């Protein structure tokens, strides 16, 4: 059965299924212990945004599908007095690090004032008692920073004293799947599983369970439909982007050559290439918008500002 179709754990839906399934908390528990160092009983794990595709409308269009894909890329788990967030980012984008920290601190402050009714004699700062530690891990499919380290973990730390803040309130982690240096044997087993969808020899039992979850034949009808729709959407998007790059390069080269020749200097050639590339990207942006993708996603994909996505008013 080695040739049967399998989900990629780094796919949007599969990732959420992997760590966010209520019926497979042993897998979640293993991940939490291996990467966050927190041991917990299955019954003490609470998945705050569990995996579910039951209410999904597969005919809702590309814009709704784009938003849905984003929700599949993150998992939030509460264990005891701490929250853990795991987010998948297979392709790095501009401002990725800033965004990862924004979501980490946003999660931290979101618990403010959740403690319930004000306790008697609690004072004016009682609401801060509802805050709790938040540990984040970002799983990356492209090289992150330099060096060989596969896992980087950042904490609140005073370098002058060589002292970390205790208790530990914030932790920002980054797992680079393209590297393996410094990983524990179990972390390396996870890395290999995330890349292949199959548990390596000698892996813990929960990774064997995770491997079974990735088999297409074990999916429900709705899951299979969602996988097929997403695969088609991703293939269409990648084809459009490939066309965008090729079209922009062709137009930029042709227009740059003509304009540069006419003006007789290098500036004309460079300006023409830039203008042609901009024209090509604008054309592709219009095609993506017509497919139903939301404006923010199109802006990120093409590198254009959202304000530039609207066609210019007709000349009078």
What's the half-sphere exposure (Cβ side, CA atoms, 13 Å) at 213?
A: 27
Are residues 132 and 193 located together in one domain of the fold?
yes
Are residues 24 and 58 located together in one domain of the fold?
yes
Over range 250-279, report the average pLDDT.
58
pLDDT, tens only, 63-90: 555 555 555 678 999 998 899 999 999 8
Are residues 136 and 283 located together in one domain of the fold?
no
Over range 16-44, report the average pLDDT.
95
Percent of the chain with pLDDT over 70: 68
Are residues 129 and 237 located together in one domain of the fold?
no
Domain boundary among 176, 203, 219: 219
pLDDT, tens only, 157-183: 999 999 999 999 999 999 999 999 999
Are residues 205 and 131 located together in one domain of the fold?
yes
Are residues 141 and 266 located together in one domain of the fold?
no
Average pLDDT value over all residues in the chain? 80
Residue 2 confidence class, pLDDT cut points 50, 70, 90: very low
Q: Range of 102's domain?
A: 12-115+124-219
* Domain presence at residue 268: yes
Are residues 185 and 271 located together in one domain of the fold?
no
Are residues 188 and 246 located together in one domain of the fold?
no
Is the model's pTM score more than 0.75?
Answer: no
Are residues 19 and 162 located together in one domain of the fold?
yes
Domain boundary among 195, 219, 243: 219
What was the pLDDT predicted at 174? 98
> How many domains does the chain contain in total?
2
* Domain presence at residue 282: yes
* Domain presence at residue 258: yes
Residue 11 confidence class, pLDDT cut points 50, 70, 90: confident
Are residues 184 and 265 located together in one domain of the fold?
no
Is residue 105 within 8 A of residue 131, CB to CB? The reply is: no
Min mean pLDDT across 84-98, 139-153, 220-234 is at 220-234
Min mean pLDDT across 7-21, 67-81, 286-300 is at 286-300
Are residues 43 and 191 located together in one domain of the fold?
yes
Are residues 235 and 204 located together in one domain of the fold?
no
More confident residue, 265 or 15: 15
Domain boundary among 181, 200, 219: 219
């Amino acid at each position: 059965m080695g040739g049967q179709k399998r989900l990629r754990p780094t796919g949007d839906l599969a990732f959420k299924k992997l760590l966010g399934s209520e019926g497979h908390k042993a897998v979640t528990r293993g991940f939490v212990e291996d990467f966050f160092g927190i041991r917990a009983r299955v019954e003490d794990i609470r998945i705050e945004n569990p995996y579910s595709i039951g209410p999904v409308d597969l005919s809702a269009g590309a814009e709704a599908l784009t938003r849905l894909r984003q929700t599949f890329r993150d998992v939030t788990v509460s264990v005891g007095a701490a929250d853990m967030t795991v987010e998948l980012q297979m392709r790095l984008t501009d401002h990725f690090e800033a965004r990862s920290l924004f979501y980490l601190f946003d999660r931290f402050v979101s618990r403010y004032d959740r403690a319930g009714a004000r306790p008697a004699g609690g004072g004016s700062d009682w609401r801060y008692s509802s805050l709790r530690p938040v540990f984040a891990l970002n799983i990356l499919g492209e090289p992150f920073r330099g060096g060989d380290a596969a896992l980087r973990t950042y904490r609140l730390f005073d370098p002058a004293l060589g002292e970390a803040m205790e208790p530990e309130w914030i932790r920002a982690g980054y797992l680079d799947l393209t590297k393996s240096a410094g990983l524990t044997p179990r972390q390396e087993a996870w890395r290999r599983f995330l890349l292949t969808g199959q548990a390596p020899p000698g892996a813990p039992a929960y990774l064997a369970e995770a491997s079974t979850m990735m088999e297409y034949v074990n999916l429900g009808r709705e899951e299979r439909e969602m996988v097929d729709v997403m695969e088609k959407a991703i293939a269409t998007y990648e084809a459009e982007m490939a066309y965008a790059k090729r079209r922009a390069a062709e137009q930029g080269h042709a227009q740059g050559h003509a304009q540069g020749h006419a003006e007789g200097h290098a500036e004309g050639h460079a300006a023409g290439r830039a203008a042609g590339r901009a024209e090509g990207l604008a054309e592709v942006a219009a095609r993506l918008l017509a497919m139903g993708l939301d404006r923010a996603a199109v802006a990120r994909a093409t590198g254009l500002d959202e304000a530039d996505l609207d066609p210019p008013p007709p000349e009078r």
